[in-house]
Amino acid sequence: MDTNARRRRAHKTIIDTCSELYSHDVSLYEEIPRTEIQLAEFQELAVDRVQLLRIVEQSSLKGYKFFSDEWKKCIKDDLIKNNLKKYVRLMSGLCGHTELDIQARRADHISHYILRLAYCRSEDLRRWFLARELDWFRIKFAAQSSSAIQNFLKLNTLNYTPISHECKEGLKDQLTESTMGLTDVMVTTSDFYKVPFLDVLPLIRSRKVFLKEGYAYIPTADLVVCIQSKFRSKLSEALNQINHKLPLLDDERLSDLCNLHQTYTGQEYVVGNNKNSINPADIDQFSSKHYPLCMRHLHEVLRTNHHLKHNARLIYGLYLKGIGLQYEQFIEFWRQEFTKVMDGEKFNKEHLYNFNHQFGKVGKMTDYSPYSCMKIIMGNVGPGESHGCPFKHSEPAVLKSKLNEYGVSTDGLTEIMSLVKNGHYQIACTKYFEHVHLQPPTITINHPNQYFEESRNLSIDKDKSLRI
């Protein structure tokens, strides 16, 4: 799967003649797509949805209250930044019928099924996918008007109907007392549904619902709990079924889906995209001010040992290339460092080809891109090797000591280590940026070169402000 540059290909999108399939922004994805699409579009839809689900996950870890206006705005802003406006359209609650609306719903439907193929393969992947899809479903549902919700229930043959005005008036006091966040006036103006209590166990567990004779009485806003429960059950069962059938599929075009969860979906950082070259004399200063933890560690190991093992050389070399170290300076940088422990002849014989290869000067002449966070996180780190993500691959005590050495406060240490413990390594790196720069980056860190770029731009902006 070609996921390198985030170029938008011009696909000739076929709008299905059966437009009923895409008649609503909210879907339970019960109809298997029958449309033929080009492989390039298949790949693009897959990567776009992975990015959508990552944005939903990352926004959930930024301190906003779940499903609050601030949380939703954060998701919308990140979707717009990443050119995923079709998903922003699905958060509007308009349920429009223009070609753009149908295209957005079509992409949402097909991409969901593509990711079923990718994320059915292990318990961890299924759990991650299920949680993110439930969040995305709730985001779309919460944006719907009362009439749009009634239409959704009808389209999906869900037998939920509002109780009568007389019934609601008779239960008004109980509904007001039992339903969190609703006043008398809001109870009067809101629709309530009578549903089996087993469909809303989360609400019962948190004592947020009125119960009577085996039924729960819930407002429209909580109806999503019932539908989510059914969606979760059906999707979980479907993922297990696909996983069992997967060995029967023999299609090499699907092979790249195995690594989709590790796919980097952000900007590629190559010299051609970096208009600002750097001076090798500034690298030590940049390391302490602008490097992410992983690259700062590699730089310090290099300066101490005057050598790095193969994987570390590759990762750090491509990173230096990405931040703007030009070819001649790049080769001289490594030559000066390595020849502190070996002669020039040995460097030329054993290492020069490797460094030329990173710049695409030999071999396949490929202009290689720097490693993303996900690629570093998912890589293997053997004994005695210095590469890897410190938030994942370092011992907690070593990581805490290093963070303390670099000026992270006690509160910051607690926050970062909590994220590390729960496996949120990129969010931990983002928090590290926030604590050392005293303000967050513009978007969650997902690439070492993004960290450098954000940090350096912040420093440049501050220098300009001082001069003014």
Cβ atoms of residues 366 and 360 within 8 Å: yes
Both tokens of residue 450? 């993004």
Q: Which of 442, 447, 443, 399 is nearest to 420 (CA)?
A: 399
Task: Say if residue 292 is exposed, middle or buried (CB neighbours under 10 Å; 0-12, 13-18, 19+).
Answer: buried
Where is the binding site, in residues? 294, 373, 389, 429
Please state whether beta strands 192-196 and 210-212 pair in parallel, antiparallel, or not at all (unpaired): unpaired
Q: Which of 324, 317, 330 is nearest to 457 (CA)?
A: 324
Cβ atoms of residues 120 and 53 within 8 Å: no
Both tokens of residue 162? 């509002």
Both tokens of residue 415? 């926050």
**Cα pseudo-dihedral 302, 306, 309, 311, rounded to 10:** 40
CA distances from 391 to 141, 277, 294 (A): 36, 29, 9
Q: What single string gives the DSSP state of each residue in 269-323?
A: --GGG------GGGHHHHHHHH--HHHHHHHHHHHHHS---HHHHHHHHHHHHHH
Both tokens of residue 244? 């069992």
Strands (E), 76-199: 192-196
Residue with tokens 């993922």: 239
Residue with tokens 């050119």: 83
- Residue 216, SS3? strand
Q: How far apart are CA 49 and CA 59, in angstroms?
A: 15
- Crossing angle for the helix pair 223-245 and 123-142, to the nearest 10 degrees: 150
Tell me the CB-side half-sphere exposure of residue 113, using CA atoms within 13 A: 15
- Residue 193, SS3? strand
The distance between the two most distant Cα atoms of the chain, rounded to a whole number of Å, is 93
Where is the binding site for [4Fe-4S] cluster, in residues? 294, 373, 389, 429
Please state whether beta strands 215-219 and 192-196 pair in parallel, antiparallel, or not at all (unpaired): antiparallel
